[in-house]
A and B are shown apart, each in its own frame.
Chain A
Amino acid sequence: MRIVVQKNTLLQALQTVAKAVPSRTTKPVLYGIHIEATSESLILTGYNLEFGFEVTVTATDNQDVPMIQIEETGAIVLTARYLLDIVRKLPHTLVRIDTQELTATIRSGNATYTLNGLDPREYPATQEIADDRGFAISCATMRELVERTAFATSTSESRPVLTGVLWKYENGLLTLSATDSHRMATQGTEVETLRDYALIESIIPGKSLQELAKSLPTDDTLANIQIEEKQLLVSFANIRFFSQLIEGRYPDLSRIIPQAFKTSITIGIKSLQDCVERAALLARDTENQIIRLHLRRTEIEISSHSPEIGKIVESVEPNTFEGEDMVLACNAKFLLEGLRAIPGEDVLIQFTSPGSAFTLTPTATSTHIQLMQPVRQVYI
C-alpha cells in the first residue's frame, strides 16, 4: 500500500473508528485499526466483535478537493492507540503511508515512523449487506431516538435482552423502547421505506447505540438503516456503523403502561430537575437513592432523609395539578435520567398510586413515553 492523505482527514477518520476499538479483548488483532486502500478509496475499520465503525475516505470530497492519493492498493492493521497519537502529532498537513509486508512507514514533514503492523487477513471480515432494504431518517432524529431510550437499558447481564433497545417497525412507524424492569422509555418516529415491510423486531445492544449516537451529526444528513437477521447497519455521510443483535424475545411492553390516572401534574423540567438534584445529594449513598415526593395542589414537596447525614426539604410549584394529593418515593437517579431525556420545557407526570408506575411525557404531543416504578417504603 502506498498512499498520501490529508492529516486532518486521516485523523478524523481514525477518531471515529477508534471508538469501536476494544480496551480489552481476547483477539489481539482487534487492538488495531484495519486500513485498506482500494483503487478509489481508503477504508478504515475498528471493531470489537459487538459493534464497529467503518469510514470511507474517497479520493475527492464533495467540492472536488483531493483528499487522498492512492499509488498502490493494499491493507494493514496498525495498533489504534499508537496510530492515533502519532497522527495527531504529525508535523505536516500531508501524511504518506507506505507498507511493506507487515511494516508501515508513516512520513510527514521530516518525521518518519516505522511501525510494526498486524496481518490484515487475521482481522474479522465485516458482513457485507448488499440490499436495498431499509429505511432512511435524519441523523438528528436517529440521535433523538437513541438518546431518549438507551439510558433505560439494564446494565445487568442476567437478562441479556434487557441490555438492548427494542427496535420495532410497523405500519410506517419505527419505535425504540428500552427497560430495565424498573423503568421504561419509548420513542417513535415516522419513517419512509422503499418497500412495504411486515413487522420487524430486533434487539440492539444499548451500549453500541450510545456510541453510535455520539458519532451522529446533529444536522439533517440522512441515515440509512438496515436491519438484517444478525446485524444492524446504519450508514451516514462517509461512515458505516454496524452492530450485532441480541437474540431472544423482548417482553411485551404494551400492557405495562397504565391507562387510568389519579393525579396529573405538569411542571417545569428545569426547576424539578434542580430540586431533585439537590435532594439527591443526601440520597446518593443509599441503595435506591430514595427521594420522597409529596404531591399537593399548591406545591410538590421533595425531600430526602439519611439517618446519619441529615435531611433536605424543598418545594416546587406545579404549573397545573389535577386529582388527589399523594405521597410516594422514587429513585432520584432514574428520575433525573428520565427528565434529562424529555424534550421541551414542561413535563406531564401522571400517577396512579404510590405503589404503581407513573408516566412522564412531554406536554406537547409526542411519541415519547417514560414509565417509572416508585420505590415502596415505610414513609418517614
Chain B
Amino acid sequence: MASPLKILEQVQLLEGQLAAFAEELDRLRVWVEELTEENRKLSLENAHLSDGTKTHAMEKGTVTSGEAARVLGKLYEDGYHICNVNYGGLRKGDCLFCLQSLQRSG
C-alpha cells in the first residue's frame, strides 16, 4: 500500500494541475471571447470594405498611394492597428507606431 505521504503528495500534485488547468481554461475562454468579438468586427469591416472596393473599382481603375493612406487612416479610425507591430489587431487608445506609419504614408 502506498504511504499516506505519497498519496498526499499525489493529491497536491493533482490539485496543482487542476488549478493550472482551470487557469488555462479561463484564459482560453477570454481569448475565445476576444476572437469572436474581433471576428465579428472584422466580418463587418470586411463587408464594408468589399462593398467599398467594388464601388471604388467601378469608379476608378487603380489605387493611388494617397488612396492607400486614406484607407489605412480609415481603418485606424475604425479602431484597428495599422502598424506592423500588431497589424489588424483591435486598438485601445492611440498607438505610437500606427500614428508614425500614418504620418509617413500620409
Contact = CB atoms under 8 A, between A and B. Distances in A.
Nearest to A374: B94
A282 B13 CA distance: 46
A373 B93 contact: yes
A181 interface: yes
A25 B16 contact: yes
Nearest to B15: A28
Interface string A166-195: 000000000000010111100000000000
Contacts of B23: 24
A306 interface: no
Given A26-B16, A251-B85, A256 B94 contact: no
B68 interface: no
A351 B45 CA distance: 34
A256 B86 contact: no
B20 A181 contact: no
Contacts of A374: 94
Nearest to A162: B85
Given A25-B16, A26-B20, A159 B86 contact: yes
Contacts of A183: 96
A251 B94 contact: no
Contacts of B100: 255-256
Interface in A333-369: 355-357
B62 to A, nearest CB: 28
A28 B89 CA distance: 36
Contact of B95 (A25, A182, A255): A182
A17 interface: no
B96 A182 contact: yes
A373 B99 contact: yes
B97 A251 contact: yes
Question: Which range holds the interface residue count of chain A?
Answer: 20 to 34
A158 B99 contact: no
Interface in A235-279: 251, 255-256
B85 A159 contact: yes
A181 B95 contact: yes
A138 to B, nearest CB: 32
A116 B95 contact: no
Contacts of A24: 16, 19-20, 23
Interface string B79-104: 00001111001000111110110011
Contacts of B83: 181, 251
A376 interface: yes
Interface in B25-68: none
A204 interface: no
B89 A158 contact: yes
A68 interface: no
B5 interface: yes
Nearest to A372: B96
B12 interface: yes
A288 interface: yes
Contact of B84 (A162, A251, A356, A376): A251
A251 B95 CA distance: 13
B80 to A, nearest CB: 13
B17 interface: yes
A145 interface: no
Contacts of B103: 356
Nearest to B99: A356
Given A25-B20, A181-B85, 7 more contacts: A26-B17, A251-B83, A251-B85, A251-B97, A373-B94, A373-B96, A376-B94
Interface of A: 24-26, 28, 116, 158-159, 162, 179, 181-184, 251, 255-256, 288, 331, 355-357, 371, 373-376
20 contacts: A24-B16, A24-B19, A24-B23, A28-B12, A116-B5, A181-B86, A181-B95, A181-B96, A181-B97, A251-B85, A255-B100, A256-B96, A356-B99, A356-B103, A357-B99, A371-B96, A373-B93, A373-B94, A374-B94, A375-B94
